[in-house]
Structure 1
Amino acid sequence: MMNRKYFFFDIDGTLAVGTPGNQYIPESTQYALKQLEAEGHFIAIATGRSYKLVAKNP
């Protein structure tokens, strides 16, 4: 039986890299997040950003 874990991540400087206004989530980070989900874990964003700003980052 697997223990499902909950992972919460910040965006700036944690998931997203680059200069303000030109930030992106690296492919390696996207891959790691997908692996966590595939293993049955729950991932979420914990940020002070507005939804509109967060949603434009894939």
Structure 2
Amino acid sequence: MSVEASPKTWTAYGQFQLDRSYMLPAPEQLRWGFWDGAGPGDDVLGPVIGKTSA
């Protein structure tokens, strides 16, 4: 069985997470794919320590 959430559902879920000040933990390593060596190195992003998407 496949269930797909509507944009309205995702917006409500996102707002719920923001309202409770949920922050995703910062990953220790960036992966571009499911296996090592996929994609460019993380050096293409420049210095990222302390930066978030928010």
Please report the TM-score for the alignment, with normalisation by the length of structure 1: 0.28
Please report the TM-score for the alignment, with normalisation by the length of structure 2: 0.30
Instruction: Name whichever structure is richer in strand by fraction.
Output: 1
User: Highest CA radius of gyration, 1 or 2?
Assistant: 2
Higher relative contact order (CA 8 A, sep 6+): 1
